[in-house]
Chain A
Amino acid sequence: MSVKTVPAKGAGKSIGSFLAGNSVPIMFILICAVCIPVSGFSFTYLLNEIMSRLGRNAFLILSLLIPIMAGMGLNFGMTLGAMAGEIALIFVSDWQIWGIPGMVLAMIISVPFSVLLGLFCGKILNMAKGREMITSYIISFFINGVYQLIVLYMMGPIIPISHSSIKLPRGYGIRNTVSLLNMRQSLDNAVSFRIAGVKIPVITLLIIVCMCLLIIWFRRTKLGQDMRAVGQDMQVAKDAGIDVERTRIISIVISTVLAGLGMIIYLQNMGNLSTYSSHSQVGMFCIAALLVGGASVDKASIGNVFLGVILFHTMFIVAPNAGTKITGDSMIGEYFRVFVSYGVITVALVMYETKKRRAKAGNGRQLQLEQEAIK
């Protein structure tokens, strides 16, 4: 039955499948195309903002790629790395080490925290195979509680924090915002120039490019190949002699460490740290951006990262203004962009699950056909 219909559809199907496969990016291009003229922002302003956000977010989003490769889905546990990065930044700003040395020190400090959290997360995800995403999502909430316990109650009495500018007036705990003014954009401004009014943060972009190259290289290593094998089929990988559990833990640890480093880059661009809320938003926006770039739960490339950052953040910049112009209410645009972020994740998850089910049903049918052929 299916044999007959395939050639008849032919050319039409390839365009159709292209549209279906890239429906999310295409939808976003349309949203941006409508909103950009309405918002009334100048082209230079937009480019400047996008460039700034590209430097800020790309590294964080890159951290999501490796767990996807290992078949563990979208790593909602990247928030853990973000928290490790924040703790490192709190220490560094307490010691008053600023600028690039401060950043480097923070990155070094964040690594052991990230590794520990990554190990924890990986171990738990191994106990919850098949529902990694919801589990990593709950882990992020759980660790957020632990993080608050440490930052809000232990910093001061147990963990020495000397500088009063970051401590709460009551004597313990960290203030809601820690100013990173002395570190603000120190990496972005280290080497930068303007092309037609658009600031190019050379060093930040270089780091991101290096990271991309590193990921491309990593895919070709033995470990990278193992991860792909595990992602394809855990049972087959196990039979081939790959230590599945260990490989999965490593992929989560790498992701968490990268997220920690990415968070430090992100916060140096922002210039202040919202101690209790920076990390909770970051996970959602990074995942949404990656999905907007055309990635799915089981497949993501570096191209998806960059397309995603550009499209998602263009929408993010223009939506509030466009919303205000269209409806006359400034909040509509704000809510709209939150809705779109959640909506995109929902749609991507649904598409992935339906695809998986269809593939499974297809396999069954294939098996049936083969068995009939043998008869």
Chain B
Amino acid sequence: MSETVNQTNPSFGKLIRKAVQSFGLPRLIIAGFLLLLFILAPFVNADLPMQITNTINRFSWNAVLVLAMVPMVHSGCGLNFGLPLGIVAGLLGGTLSIELGFRGPASFFISILIATPFALLFGGGYGWLLNRIKGGEMMIATYVGFSSVSFMCMMWLLLPYHSPNMVWGLSGKGLRTTISLEGYYDKALANFLQINIGKLSIPVGTLLFFAVLAFGMWAFLHTKTGTAMTAVGSNPTFARAAGINVDRIRLLSVIMSTWLGAVGILVYEQGFGFIQLYNAPFYMALPAVSAILIGGASVNKASIMNVIIGTFLFQGIVTMTPTVMNNMIHMDMSEVIRMIASNGMILYALTRKTEVRR
């Protein structure tokens, strides 16, 4: 009813209130906070071009991991807290490509190629599991992620890797916790078509790679299968009545998410320059989840735009807070702020009454 009043008599205050409501208060706070950081930066002698470069760089590393959330949200599987499973597939691809002796930027694509069967296999099993426990996906996804990471902790020690660049020097077996990618696919995408304007440098290659994947995702969501996926997510009963095989679509979405997770970690590694094993992937799902939520997604709705805005805002805060805070009050509170902001955002999304309970 108030809706019609608004439309017939759109006073400015109401318009703003409506905009805030649709945008969400926490999102507004976070966007405002980032804006404030950017404004403050020059006053506290922070190097602004450097900060912007860092933000763009970090955006390019993380965007694909955030994109991996989209298919599962669309098919109604909720936020993919099981992202570490995809990451494990990516890590297997990366380490195996090094083990097999591939070098240079080409090894990046070889890694993706090797990671793909693992991602399909893991994603298939994971999707099958999630189809059996509809309604409880998010909690179980979290623990599937944790179990897979802790299982791989043992595997990194036990699998017969031999490449001297990866194993512990003394015992000659068991992978190191961090492996340098120098000579392998370090900056494989970032150095491609890199633009440098003064202090500003933009990793066009990585951004292009993300753009291709994002466009692919957008195009896919507009195909027949993609529309079916959205239908399954918004109303599974209706979708079933329309003759869509709900379980198959959900399985497909989980496999896509897992594969994107695998590719995402490889993109992250090529930017970061290191492979991080063992406990590193444990909490990698949370930043990605909160990023897409900050971008405006909810538990059952997400678009490519949400991914881009969210990743930019999240990574902007992650890069800007430490420098600005440090220069301002000589105290590094960034870690704490990041924890509160990102988890607060997830909490906010979880408490919205958006999802149709099955």
Contacts and interface: CB of A to CB of B under 8 A. Distances in A.
Given A128-B351, A135-B351, A353-B136, A144 B147 contact: no
A342 B133 contact: no
B19 interface: no
Contacts of B136: 349, 352-353, 356
B150 A149 contact: no
Interface in B87-140: 129, 132-136, 138-140
B351 A134 contact: no
A339 B150 contact: yes
A112 interface: no
B336 A338 contact: no
A135 B150 contact: no
Contacts of A343: 147, 150-151
B197 interface: no
Contact of B132 (A131, A135, A350): A350
Interface of B: 81, 129, 132-136, 138-140, 142-144, 146-147, 150-151, 153-154, 157-158, 174, 286, 331, 333, 335-336, 339-340, 343-344, 346-347, 350-351, 353, 357
Contacts of B344: 142
- The DSSP consensus for interface residues of chain B is helix
Contact of A353 (B81, B133, B142, B333): B133
A138 B350 contact: yes
A238 interface: no
21 contacts: A131-B138, A135-B347, A138-B347, A138-B350, A141-B339, A142-B339, A149-B336, A149-B340, A327-B158, A329-B157, A335-B157, A338-B150, A339-B150, A339-B154, A342-B143, A346-B140, A349-B140, A350-B132, A353-B140, A357-B133, A357-B135
Interface of A: 124, 127-128, 130-131, 133-135, 137-139, 141-142, 144-146, 148-149, 152-153, 327, 329, 331-332, 335-336, 338-339, 342-343, 345-346, 349-350, 352-354, 356-357
Listed from nearest, the 6 A-B pairs whose CB atoms lie closest are A145-B339, A353-B133, A145-B340, A142-B343, A127-B351, A339-B150
A113 B10 CA distance: 46
A138 B343 contact: yes
Contacts of A331: 157
B350 A354 contact: no
A168 to B, nearest CB: 12
B153 A339 contact: yes
A220 to B, nearest CB: 31
A22 B153 CA distance: 28
Given A133-B139, A134-B142, A148-B339, A332 B154 contact: yes
B111 to A, nearest CB: 24
Contact of B146 (A144, A335, A342): A342
A353 B358 CA distance: 13
Nearest to B132: A354
A194 B99 CA distance: 56
A124 B351 contact: yes
B336 A342 contact: no
Contacts of B174: 329
Given A332-B158, A350-B129, A357-B134, A131 B343 contact: no
A144 B339 contact: yes
Contacts of B353: 127
Contacts of A339: 147, 150-151, 153-154
B148 to A, nearest CB: 9
B336 A134 contact: no
Contacts of B81: 134
Nearest to B146: A342
Nearest to A133: B139
Given A124-B351, A346-B144, A145 B336 contact: yes
Contacts of A145: 336, 339-340, 343
Given A130-B357, A335-B150, A346-B147, A354 B133 contact: yes
A345 B139 CA distance: 10
B142 A137 contact: yes
A101 B336 CA distance: 34
Given A339-B154, A354-B133, A138 B139 contact: no
Contacts of B154: 332, 335-336, 339
B135 A353 contact: yes
Which of B154, B157, B344 has the most chain A CB atoms inside 10 A of its CB? B154
